[in-house]
Amino acid sequence: MMTYIQGLPKVELHLHIEGSLEPDLMFELAKRNQVSIPFNSPEEVQAAYQFEDLQSFLDIYYQGANVLINEQDFFDLTWAYLLRCQQDNVIHTEIFFDPQTHTARGIAFDTVINGIDKALQKGREELGISSQIIMCFLRHLDQDSAFETLRQALPYKDKIIGVGLDSSESGHPPEKFQQVFEEAIKHGFLTVAHAGEEGPAENIHNAMKLLGVARVDHGVRCVEDEQLVEQLIQDRTPLTVCPLSNIKLKVFQDMADHNIADLLRRGLCVTINSDDPAYFGGYMTDNFVAVAEALPMTNEELKAFTLNAIEASFISEEEKQRLVAKVDQFCASV
């Protein structure tokens, strides 16, 4: 099973690039930029990654982001993630970034986007990993801040495929951002949103109805509303599920309790993703293995996660067919 999972081509649709900041790189950048961080060693950082809920994670996540200052920092962060993609046989990735986390610290929007984009271009050329960028609004901030971020993003539309919604779901429902999403859609951006992780199934419904999302990030609480589940099946609305993240943030107590296998078997378009892998203890292969070990799955079911992710991705039909052929080729060889 390990050999099969390791070799299986994978597609990641739910990855926060700031959440791939490993402790070693955090220390390296802190030193390079002379930024003070409240830890004495990478091991101490790792030991702090025990979270009670989403907020306890976000507190340390935003602290870690303070070391990201120059374009080279964002390049190095993204390149380190792409090397992990290569290791895990991730052939396509669609990554989130949080501009407000950086612009609020006085970092220019173009510093962030250019550093990330240059690394992704290098990834395409040297590693053969295709990619897209999705800009997320921080939902704990107000909609005016999101509108300002959208304005800043417009000159970089050629680099940004869509907008998303992340950060604290609790107390910040989708309807808070309906107008800025409508504006983003007018400008040609695709839309996604985190919903149904900490918040209720109603947030999933409203993200679809009010924000026009092409896919739902997380979405595991859809099972609270049977009518919603049926709609997700019928419409093939993708859920970008993050198994290890869900355990680390206590959405489920144990992987054996996770509903991802049930959702797949019921016919939902569910995918496996790593979310914030530096903080949650695992990249793509780790997530696939954790699911397969706790919820015995067939090779065909594991393959289905990749095929679902290809279907759900923001690439052309031609490119989707190319990726499907890669998956089929691998599966025929084992």
Catalytic residue among 175, 197, 198, 311: 197
Alpha carbon distance 138, 125 (integer Å):
32
Tell me how far apart the alpha carbons of residues 120 and 108 are, in angstroms, rounded to a whole number.
Answer: 19
Say if strands 162-166 and 270-272 run parallel, antiparallel, or are unpaired.
Answer: unpaired
Tokens encoding 16? 């926060």
68-99 per-residue burial string, b: 16 or more CB within 10 A, e: under 16: bbebbbbbbbbbbbbebbeebbbbbbbbbbbb
Q: Could you tell me the end-to-end alpha-carbon distance of the chain, in angstroms, rounded to an integer?
A: 11
DSSP result, 297-317:
--HHHHHHHHHHHHHHSSS-H
Positive or negative, the Cα torsion across 184, 236, 322, 117? positive
Is residue 197 flagged as an active site residue? yes
Do the Cβ atoms of 205 and 214 come closer than 8 Å? no
Q: Across-strand partners of 164?
A: 136
Closest CA to 213 of 8, 14, 35: 14
Q: Is 165 exposed, middle or buried (0-12, 13-18, 19+ CB in 10 A)?
A: buried
Q: Dihedral of CA 241/245/248/251: which sign? A: negative
In this structure, what DSSP letter does residue 174 have?
G
- Size (the chain), residues: 334
Residues involved in catalysis: 197
